[in-house]
Structure 1
Amino acid sequence: MFVPVNALNVMFSSMNNPSKLDGWKSSGGDPCGESWRGIKCSGQAVTEIDLNNLGLSGSMGYQLGNMKDVTYFDLSMNNLKGDIPFQLPQKLEYIDLSGNELTGGIPWSIAQMSQLKTLKLYQNKLKGQLSEMFSQLSKLKELDLSFNQLSGDLPHNMKDLSSLTVLHLQNNQLTGSIDVLASLPIDDLNVENNRFTGWIPDELKGIKKLKTNGNSWSSGQAPPPPPGQKSRRPSGSGNGYGVHSGIVIAAIVVGVLLVIGIVLGLIAKRKRSSPSHFFDDERISRCSSSTPLHSHELRNDAHIQIDKSFREQMSFDSTDTFAKKASTAVHSKKHKAPSEDYAISFNDNEFTEQANTKRNSTKVSTYSLSELQTLTSNFATSRLIGEGSIGRVYKAKYSDGRVLAVKKIDSSFFQRDKRQMLSDVVSEISKLHHPNIAPLVGYSAEQGQNMLVYEFYLNGSLHEFLHMSDDFSKPLTWNTRVRIALGSARAVEYLHETCSPSCLHKNIKSSNIFLDIELNPCLADCGLARFHQRTSQNLGNGYNAPECTNPSAFTVKSDVYSFGVVMLELLTGRKPYDSTRAKKEQLLVQWASPQLHEIDALDKMVDPALCGLYPPKSLSRFADVIARCIQSEPSFRPPMSEVVQSLVRLVKGSGLSGDDFSSSHRYSFDF
């Protein structure tokens, strides 16, 4: 029970200090004891915020998630703009933000509100797709998202809204079928003026208040349901249905068997043609061109253009620790038939969906010490791929080609504190699920050896891309750098503002940001803050925030500083500390800070590898975000949610596009 006065102060300032809010202050005060307008309390805890129809302007602020006891939240019928804050009070039972000018998507924090009964967001300017955010909302009775600009299909887990009686989705741009609604107890359904297709399920036709006009419904008789589902066909449909259904089922079975045969054939062919040691004998693509590597250039169906010399120069280099950047194209799962310029097409939506499904379903396995010894050649020096402040990382190889990364934690961390158990660490890490966080695959704790097992990223780390390039490597384009910054920021935002309690990282640096097959960032070392605390937050030269000389002073704002340094690396291509440079340029932050707001100086700071290929406006805004993150005073640094929002605005303002930048990433936290 507490008064969230700081959150209300920020909210008041964000709404331009409206005079109508009697008693409210931009600093300090007692909203319960002083009877602030629209505030209701229980003791010293704010439980209700009702500011309906007061002509309020500005935005909603960014600390709403700190109001832990608020259950009723009504800001409807005002003139509020901007995105709905990423974090909202988690105990909310009633939310009404309708009748404003709110933009962006629906924040994921709503997915965690297990007590929510009413959600009204109608008559705003919300965009994007509805994510799989409904699994925990079993108490939700009324959902009104009408008169927005929402698009895409209805998420599958809307079927979990077991208490839903009122659903208004009219006047959006939603697509696909509405079959997912068939089993819900809805008695008031409005889906008018969307782009829905298919047939209206029979179960919905008896609803008293049903409005379906303005869609592209199919005419004629509906097809039979998939095998195992009950028929929605009205009674007395005749014997032809059974025959037709049997034909469809037979066709499906034959098709599935055919696909299985093809897949098995490809696997057998791969085993015959592939060497037993996948990584060491892997063919690594190299490219003599120095033009920036653009992956899919942040577009929905962009291409990587690979010339013939690139394909002909595929060769093995045993000194490589990671597959080089150009291998992204070679390892793509989805590609077109080779053309004269060897174009390979990536679909962002499909890849993101596959990646999220894979990561969120990862199970943590237990490995025996002997198994890991075998896979790492008894932790041979030749298998060492990295060394940090808490231990070494080794490459583990299976005979079938699978490659994993094994982090061997220094035993001293456990010897100092007998209560410290690896199982506790694993339990915490396994609860982290985010598409931009490296997932934990397994662990081993035998004979005093404590190891964590992760996926192995063939494209290596951001540090390698930026600072260990060779003449055959393609540098990252500006668009890809922005995407890496945004994805990494989302990961840190998740740790800070979605996890409860907040999860510090304490080791944010470019060598802990790995890049997957399409150069999407994956933040590593998450959940290991307890070990870095024992090393006084040894983040390496150049990453430490000024306050980190005192280990106890480390906060989320210290992580923000380290992230700002990573953004500086993306901007300049320089290391955080480089002893080979002139003394005044050795520390990147000290050298760059005074120049971030000078246009001419900023142009000279940009990584020469970009060859001037970047939008000046985007560059300036990127530098503004950096400048805020690396402020010497922690309180002046923004929360990560603001960093994410700034980067999203940068993307929109620069005309960049791609579903990479949507705010509907799916992730969860299982505490």
Structure 2
Amino acid sequence: MDNSNNVLGLLIVVFLGVLTSQVLSKTNSPDVSALNVMYTSLNSPSKLSTWKSSGGDPCGDSWEGITCSGSSVTEIDLSNLGLSGSMGYQLSSLTSVTHFDLSKNNIKGDIPYQLPPNVQHLDLSHNGFTNNVPYSVSQMTDLEYLNLGNNQLNGQLSDMFQQLPKLKELDLSFNSITGNLPQSFSKLSSLTTLHLQNNKFTGTIDVLTNLPLDDLNIENNEFSGSIPDKIKDINNLETGGNSWSSGSSSSSKNKSDKKGKSGGGGNSIAIGLIIAGVALGVLAVIAIVISVFSRRTSAHESRFLDEERFSRKSFSRELSRELTSEMHKDFKEYKSVEPSASIDIVSLQNLPSVSLKQSFSDNEFANRINSRRSTSVRAVAYALSDLQNATANFAAGRLVGQGSVGRVYRAKYADGKVLAVKKIDSSLFQGKRAEEFSEMVASISKLRHQNIVELVGYCSEQGHNMLIYEYFRNGSLHDFLHLSDDYSKPLTWNTRVRIALGMARGLEYLHEVCSPSVIHKGIKSSNIFLDVELNPRVGDSGLGRFNELTSQSLGVGYNAPECTHPSAYTIKSDVYSFGVVMLELLTGRMPFDSSKAKVEQCLARWATPQLHDLDALASMVDPALRGLYPPKSLSRFADIIALCVQSEPEFRPPMSEVVQALVRLVQRSSMKLREDLGASRRMDDDDYY
């Protein structure tokens, strides 16, 4: 009996051990999903034989190149495996990864904005990456090693290095990066190794003067000025191949300039004086021409800046006048207009801002859209050269936003017109039919609603695909709620309700008026733009075909529970994301904030159980409101949120019911919004342009 009990006990222990081992080895679901997407994006390479496109257990099954700690993936090392394709769109879910190495492969396209946020060692060198360094690097506060060398990166570096105090080694060599070194380089207080050789950097290197560098290579750029004495003391210094002023080193600290030998007698001296005299004469003429041109250019630019300032002052006066009028009209039922089934491309000959030079392929593109002609909806074909001029060649200083679909730039024209240009990530069109972009433009152009950002035009040239939209100087709802500064005043309660109602109407139009229905798949506060009257406009509408690829990168905190993979996203998932934005309006909190206690980091998870508790609700409300809100209105607002963020999709209401509930809230509260614009508007500031 004792023996049988012992055997039974042993079996139980073994069983529990196996069971425990299986539980412990089970990889976190977000990590699995991110690696699944990455595997597919890398074209399912045979060298990653243990990887899977869906499911699996990377930690338990020891996937190639994967190192884990418990159930979390901590290291990814896939260097030199001949990998191709792209990196995927879900890497920001890998929150425990500290070492990420995809160097020495053949991966192309843009470096995705979504990267492991807590990475310490990031190596993407020796690939075929294009475009620029993603701005998300600025948020990697634990980063110690960054190597993006030997790629095809171009454009200017954004000024994004302020928050990287731990960065010790930075390598951007052998690319085509242009412009001056960003001033935030001076904040890299731990930087000891910096390799920038073989790029197209310009300007001086003064910003590097006080860094603790012991290895600096800036050879073969277009730097000018002199080399500061402190930099000359660096142990390993390579500076050749630049345009240094007299007296600066031309190659390295250990190599001095070769000095020419004098000789040749008086004749050579005389000849030299003649040549010098001629050169000085030529230089004098050039200087006069440059001076005249500069005065004209400066005068033009000065007039343009004065016009912008006058425009902003007029904008302020317009807002002030609005203070005297009732805003009840904002809550009248909006009668949606059935979208047109076709699109009209405005003739290029009638557009002074559009180049008349088009390639055959460009005309072919326009013809495909013209096949759906109508006189009711218009989308303008913009020339790439004109957009380059208007955005200063897509300069970093014109970058106003960046997301999973691409970067957004501000385009300024001499006549005062300002537009937003969304430059779509080229990797999103890899392997797709040539006409897919034209089909997308035609589809988006049909979306017309007072709460939807309007598509103004498009550009498809030389492999670039761009969408041109209205530009909103007031920025996004995210800016107002989370980027508080001395130029802003907090949104009043009535304005927040009005914004929620406008958003709801926009989504109601997409879901229930458009045929077929349009699922947005990207509802978040940074995609809600505010016009001069702080009415909301939903941006990125109609980009669902891309958001189907990038829905997991919507942002931590916005995705509904059912969105474990892109195909699971439905209209009801949009409703959930809308509810999260309403929570942001209610609480002033980010949808996910890692700086808070763990139980409060995910806004929806923390707030939902408290939405019907009046005492808890009062403590949750945004402190910026300073208690200036009607308690009953707050409670009803919370009730609507609770319906939208339910975990079961089928229980979430359609947007038409959300609109009706918000309209009833307004009617019961007898809201008068004439004070909201003055209290909530963003003040004028030169930095905003």
User: Which interval holds the TM-score relative to the shorter structure?
Assistant: 0.3 to 0.5
Q: Which has the higher helix share?
A: 2
State which structure, 1 or 2, has the greater radius of gyration over its C-alpha atoms.
2
Q: TM-score, normalised by structure 1?
A: 0.47
Q: TM-score, normalised by structure 2?
A: 0.46
